[in-house]
Amino acid sequence: MNPSRQFLHCWSASFGGFALLLTVLLAFPVSAQETHTEEAVKAAYLYRFGTYVDWPKESASGDLFVIAVVGAPGVARELRHMLPGRLINNQPVQVREVTRAQEVAGAQMLYVGANNADFLRALSPAGNAATLIVTDEERGLDLGGALNFVTVDKRVRFEVSLTAAERARVKISADLLSVAIRVRGGRRQTNEICVPFSLPDEGDTPCGIRQARLMRRQPEIRVAT
Amino acid sequence: MARRPMTRAGFGARGAMQLLGRKLIMSTCCALLASVAEAQGTSPSDDLSRLSLQELSNLEVTSVSKAPEGLQRAPASIYVITHEDIMRSGATSLMEALRLAPNLLVTQVSAAGYTISARGFGGNPQAQNFSNKLLMLIDGRSVYTPLYSGIYSDAQDVLLEDVDRIEVISGPGATLWGANAMNGVVNVITRPSYLTQGSFVDASAGNQEQNLNVRYGGRSGGDLSYRAYGLGFHRAAEVLPDGGSAQDGWTKAQGGFRSDWSTDQNSATLQGDLYRAAEQEFMSTDGSIAGANVLSRYQHHTAHSEFQVQGYFDQTQRFGPESGGGGGFVLHTYDLHIQQSIEAGAYQRIVWGGGERLNRYAITNQMELLFEPERRNLTLGDAFVQDTVSLAPTLNLTAGVKMEDDPYSGWTPLPDGRLSWQLSAHAALWAAASKAIRSPTPFDDDVIEKGGTTVFLTGNRLFRPEEVTAYETGTRLDLPSALSASLAVFYNNYDDLRTIEPSAGGLPLFWGNLMKGDTYGAEGWANWQIVDWWRLSPGITVLREQLRFKPGASGILGIAQAADDPSSHADLTSSMQLGRAVTLDATLRYVGALPDPALPHYVELNGRIGWQAADSVDLSINALNLLHARHYEFAPSQGGEAIVRSVMAEARWRF
């Protein structure tokens, strides 16, 4: 056989092998589909937060629910992709990318991406508008965030400041609080974390009293069974 | 003749099969590429929006690791080792984890002994010069020993699972961190306890080491969380140049806790550790080290200011083997510091603080190594202020000074000025000029070394601090998708470096400050996320040292006594996520030749293959120094031992 052909053969065989290897390697992202990008997960969180939070009636700015996004184009892109056809607070959602604190006015939710502490500091004087601030900083809650993303062990979690939520005059549901990695401050109201979660909702009755009632009920339950 | 058709037929069939094979490969390629394209084209966020919060919080995400605010924009050369980096590196000790920082040189000398240095001055033990120009803090507690200056690597263990990040700052940091932050600062920061909830068990075993780590974290109410941990290990002896065992294996047990309490504007932390280790000594009985510390920190913060009070007590003791003279020391450190940072208007941020440290020590003198006095109380006071001003929206100037009252040399100013220019959202330039010192210690002032009854070296009560004036500039790129990079160049001017001088009659010798010189170099690194499952991170440091004696110096031991540093070291880390459950990580490192005493360059590899067998179980094979059965990182004449390849299996269980 012609040595050059043999060489060619060898080469094409090894090329085929290499192509196969490359394809297998490139295929890994396919098998790794179960892991998502951080941006996509955060966008999904923002949408979900919207469904677990009650905004005051007067905050409805026209017919739209506005989510302002600062310094996180990836999250804004994912939100725009995800939100058409979905409602938050019974309103269609608009995503608005902003760069200055003044532009936040009228937004019900504000997401400030990582490394924008200066933006948060500039914002806080006007921080009593009914805007739920979601941050992504190590000290996000100290900087005025009501919700703050914390990435632990490759999972995006979040923490809550009830004080900031109260300042924004929004009510955060117990279901949201029960998933939070920690809940800080605030006068605990009816929708606070009250363990166990199955405790009956008794309007404004504080958690401790509800728990005490449950404790007192325990013997009765035992007698009954 | 008869064979030819056969061959032909055979060839034909093989050709057809090859053709078929190639077609198969091609079509598989196309199908897979198409599916990749499809997967990338359609965002998975459609599905994500249907998930509950609980489901979202259990999703694993791919992310480019990022440093917290402040670090990314800080006008300094900072490398951050993340929790994830450590967990995937195969490292089982803090010192091995520090190898991940390209601006740090980690040298393993013996089974328990490591030296760490940045920008040179890794020490020359023969000349009794130690790696003493780098400061290290663990959760704000200094672990730089005030007795001889330097870091006892074997006394600094943390549960790596609980480490949030390690910030490695090369270049002076004296204005914020004080004396001895001369060539760099290493800040080990553990996670608050509310992020380390649940149980964790981690066991590993291999030819050179066995480790067991446990931790439990819980909470009480919404505001208080806590954790407790225990760790224990045995590390086997390394090897001497003659091939025999160095007989320096060691065993350590350590436990500790941390609790965090926080409300809206206040947070408090209480944490502590307790450890004891036995270290084999060559042809001798065991030496021992033991220690305990407790630290408390209170912070009050509002959106525009933060006030912090921190106090700690640290007890460290170490004793050599009885048969070796039984020398050792007990050191108690009490430290109290306050710090406040204020946003003054839109354009100014002021940080000020101060405090006091008391070191009480008692040294047990040996026949030939004595300290006079052998027990002493050293107080160290300091006060600092630093102001960051926005000169323009993208231009920040930081200027500050620390006044430090050193027990030996009195008040010393440690000034620092930095300029940072944010060119765009993705690029920044910075430049800095600063001054720092390595402060005198009992080893510089009070030591007496004897040979038999002859005193051949004494400390010098007039010993001055070693000084550096450092000039550095750098750039940082952070491209949104896949690439981040940092490059810094530096020029350091040193003065009053320690030398050995003869007295009028020749002996005894005494310490002098008669060396000066310049060093310059560059350090750079990058993070390149090539595809979402593969990241490459190269890093390199180059260094040139031009040291010389000052007029009147004896020149004893030559300029090599100051340091024995490689002119370059580099590393390349590859991190692969192979499918959902398998990770493959490797760090190849190159360390250049040491000049004097000479040691050839070496190349080594640390790595880990990890398999997430279940949601809560990680299994892995870890390797340290995989390429050679043995290698040297430090000259044998300096006490360097042949470091043995270490391979181990590890299981981590979180529940």
Mean pLDDT of chain A: 73
pLDDT number for residue A122: 79
Contact A118, A93 (CB under 8 A): no
Residue B449, judged by CB atoms within 10 A of its CB (0-12, 13-18, 19+), counts as middle
Mean pLDDT of chain B: 88
Q: Is B413 helix (H, G, I), strand (E, B) or coil?
A: strand
Q: Does A214 touch chain B (CB under 8 A)?
A: no
**Domain contains B57:** no
**Confidence at A212, pLDDT banded by 50, 70, 90:** low
B395-412: per-residue pLDDT in tens? 999 999 999 999 888 999
Tokens standing for A32? Answer: 């790794």
Q: Does A80 touch chain B (CB under 8 A)?
A: no
Instruction: Give mean pLDDT, residues A134-144.
Output: 88
pLDDT at B577 over 60: yes
Interface test with A, best of B53, B219, B612 (most A CBs within 10 A): B53
Say yes or no for a CB contact (<8 Å) between B480 and A74: yes
Say yes or no for a CB contact (<8 Å) between A32 and B480: no
Question: Cα(B418)–Cα(B431) distance, rounded to whole angstroms?
Answer: 6
Question: Cα(B278)–Cα(A192) distance, rounded to whole angstroms?
Answer: 51
Spell out a b/e string for B595-631, using b for 16 or more CB atoms within 10 Å of the CB, else e. eeeebeebebbbbbbbebeeeeebbbbbbbbbeeeeb
pLDDT number for residue A209: 55
Contact B22, A16 (CB under 8 A): yes
Residues of A in contact with B480 (CB under 8 A): 73-74
Least confident of A71-75, A201-205, B291-295, B397-401: A201-205
Q: How many CB atoms lie within 10 A of CB B508?
A: 15
Residue in A closest to B69 by C-alpha: A115
Closest Cβ opposite residue A32 in set B18, B53, B533: B533
pLDDT number for residue A219: 38
Q: Does A183 touch chain B (CB under 8 A)?
A: yes
Q: How many CB atoms lie within 10 A of CB A177?
A: 23
Q: How many CB atoms lie within 10 A of CB B470?
A: 22
Q: Where are the domains of chain A?
A: 3-34, 38-184, 194-225
Alpha-carbon distance values, B22 to A21, A24, B16 (Å): 13, 15, 10
User: Rg of the Cα trace of chain B?
Assistant: 27
Say yes or no for a CB contact (<8 Å) between A74 and B66: no
Interface of B with A in 260-279 (CB under 8 A): 262-264
The sign one gets for the Cα dihedral B551, B553, B556, B560 is negative
Instruction: Give mean pLDDT, residues B497-512.
Output: 90
Contact A198, A221 (CB under 8 A): no
Residues of B in contact with A86 (CB under 8 A): 49
Alpha-carbon distance values, B612 to A25, B164, B578, B622 (Å): 19, 21, 11, 14
Number of domains making up chain B: 1
Residues of A in contact with B219 (CB under 8 A): 182
Q: Which residue has the higher pLDDT, A157 or B60?
A: A157
pLDDT number for residue B37: 39
Question: Cα(B156)–Cα(B140) distance, rounded to whole angstroms?
Answer: 13
Tokens standing for B586? Answer: 């490797």
- Which amino acid type is present at position B112? A
B423-456: per-residue pLDDT in tens? 987 899 999 999 999 999 999 999 999 888 889 8
Closest Cβ opposite residue A37 in set B56, B61, B533: B61
- List the beta bridge partners of residue B605: B588
Residues of B in contact with A155 (CB under 8 A): 57-61
Contact B422, B439 (CB under 8 A): no
Instruction: Give mean pLDDT, residues A91-116.
Output: 88
**Confidence at A114, pLDDT banded by 50, 70, 90:** confident
pLDDT at A39 over 50: yes
pLDDT number for residue A186: 65
B317-367: per-residue pLDDT in tens? 999 886 666 789 999 999 999 999 998 877 888 999 999 999 999 999 888
**Domain contains B279:** yes
Whether ipTM tops 0.95, in short, is no
Q: Does A181 touch chain B (CB under 8 A)?
A: yes
pLDDT number for residue B648: 97
pLDDT number for residue B386: 93
Closest Cβ opposite residue A19 in set B29, B60, B532: B29
Instruction: Give mean pLDDT, residues A92-120.
Output: 87
pLDDT at B129 over 60: yes
pLDDT number for residue B499: 94
pLDDT number for residue B234: 97
Q: Is B168 helix (H, G, I), strand (E, B) or coil?
A: strand
Q: Does A48 touch chain B (CB under 8 A)?
A: yes
B275-289: per-residue pLDDT in tens? 999 999 888 888 999
Q: Does A199 touch chain B (CB under 8 A)?
A: no
Say yes or no for a CB contact (<8 Å) between B48 and A157: no
Closest Cβ opposite residue B44 in set A33, A143, A144: A33
CATH match for A38-184 among 3.30.70, 2.30.30, 3.40.50, 1.20.1740: 3.40.50
Q: What is the CATH number of the domain that holds B422?
A: 2.40.170.20
- Calculate ∠ Cα B319-B321-B326, nearest 5°: 60
**Domain contains B71:** no
Say yes or no for a CB contact (<8 Å) between B194 and A181: yes
Q: Does B424 touch chain A (CB under 8 A)?
A: no
Contact B634, B109 (CB under 8 A): yes
CA distance A183 to chain B (A): 6
The sign one gets for the Cα dihedral B441, B446, B452, B456 is positive
Say yes or no for a CB contact (<8 Å) between A114 and B262: no
Q: Is the peptide bond before B508 cis (omega within 30 degrees of 0)?
A: yes
Say yes or no for a CB contact (<8 Å) between A29 and B35: no
The shares of helix, strand and coil residues in chain B, as percent rounded to the nearest 5, are: 15, 55, 30
Residue B219, judged by CB atoms within 10 A of its CB (0-12, 13-18, 19+), counts as middle
Interface of B with A in 158-197 (CB under 8 A): 191, 194-195
Domain around B399: 77-654
- Closest C-alpha to B490, from B543, B423, B562, B568: B543
A160-193: per-residue pLDDT in tens? 998 888 888 888 888 888 888 888 876 544 444 5
A-B CB pairs within 8 A amount to: 183
Tokens standing for A14? Answer: 């090894």
Q: Is B315 helix (H, G, I), strand (E, B) or coil?
A: strand
Alpha-carbon distance values, A75 to A46, A51, A97, A110, B582 (Å): 9, 18, 10, 12, 27
Residues of B in contact with A167 (CB under 8 A): none
Residue B229, judged by CB atoms within 10 A of its CB (0-12, 13-18, 19+), counts as buried
Question: Cα(B50)–Cα(A47) distance, rounded to whole angstroms?
Answer: 10
Alpha-carbon distance values, B501 to A182, B122, B514, B556 (Å): 61, 22, 9, 7
Question: Cα(B310)–Cα(B353) distance, rounded to whole angstroms?
Answer: 11
B512-547: per-residue pLDDT in tens? 999 999 999 999 999 998 988 899 999 999 999 999
B555-573: per-residue pLDDT in tens? 888 899 998 999 999 999 9
Q: Which residue has the higher pLDDT, A36 or A11?
A: A36
pLDDT number for residue B68: 57
